[in-house]
Structure 1
Amino acid sequence: MIFGLTFEKLLVIGVIAAMLLGPERLPKYAELLARAVKRGRVLLGTAKERMQDELGDDVDWRTLDPRQYDPRRIIREALLDDAPVAPAASASAAASPAPASRPVPETFRPGTVPPFDSEAT
């Protein structure tokens, strides 16, 4: 299904085109359509060969997928990722007194209600 066109829709378009063109011009336009399809296949084939020549055979297509840059997906993954783990304390840090630290905020989990401040603007 290309551009939402099903076989039935293509058949209706073909019948309408045949009626509009008439029996005299229909063979000429059918030949032009066949040539255009063949040329399109050749162009796609050469583009595919050129891409394989330039990128090689061991291409990871997932890295070239433009859907990975969808802002909605990036934000969703950032919100649902686990909180980063604090690095382990080294021996030199253990010898010095620990500075007063802020409490670590809870991570957002799916299905929980995030905190809400009614006075915030």
Structure 2
Amino acid sequence: MLGISGWEFLILAVLAAALIGPDRLPEYVAKLRTYIRQMRDMADGAKTQLKDQMGPEFQDINWRAYDPRQYDPRKIVRDALFDPEPDPAAELAGPDGVAAPQDFATPPPAYDLHKFDPDRATPFDYDAT
């Protein structure tokens, strides 16, 4: 917290109490208390405003899943290096381990050239360019 240890904070508090004096100390403590309450109310207001704007799906978010402290980089690298990759040929193989024969003798369906209209404008996607 601001690079101040417990002992340094205690020394600063005693020094502030001595400089302010016993007659003005309650006034400054009351100001500090109201300032802290205002900050807490502002934080709570921002939190409720965010929840209202996000809608009901904000309640369903599992924030612990996004906690960076749960990730172990060594485990992630170990899993990436030593996990076996799935065999792409195994996906094509049948139950007996042999891939089904493919029929390459049949030609692909022919393109209908009569559908082409040279007068028609070429489709253009404004979002893609």
The two structures have a TM-score, normalised by structure 1, of 0.51
Relative contact order: is structure 1 or structure 2 higher (C-alpha 8 Å, sep ≥ 6)? 1
Measured after TM superposition, the shift of residue 11 of structure 1 is 4.6
Q: For structure 1, list consecutive stretches of 5 or more residues without a partner in the other structure.
A: 97-121
SS of equivalent residue, structure 1 residue 24: coil
Which piece of structure 1 moves more, 7-16 or 75-84? 7-16
Q: For structure 2, list consecutive stretches of 5 or more residues without a partner in the other structure.
A: 103-129
- Residue number among 87, 90, 93 corresponding to 2:92 in the alignment: 90
How many correspondences in the alignment? 90
- What is the alpha-carbon distance in structure 2 between the residues aligned to residue 45 and residue 18 of structure 1? 31
Alignment of 1:5-44 (within 5 A): 11-44=10-43
- What is the alpha-carbon distance in structure 2 between the residues aligned to residue 33 and residue 44 of structure 1? 17
Report the residue type matching 1:90 in the other structure. Answer: L
Report the residue type matching 1:84 in the other structure. Answer: E
Q: Which has the larger radius of gyration?
A: 2
Once superposed, what is the RMSD of the aligned Cα atoms? 3.6
- What is the alpha-carbon distance in structure 1 between the residues aligned to residue 11 and residue 43 of structure 2? 27
- What is the alpha-carbon distance in structure 1 between the residues aligned to residue 8 and residue 20 of structure 2? 18
The two structures have a TM-score, normalised by structure 2, of 0.49
Report the residue type matching 2:64 in the other structure. Answer: R
The answer for the alignment partner of 1:106 in structure 2 is none
Report the residue type matching 1:61 in the other structure. Answer: W
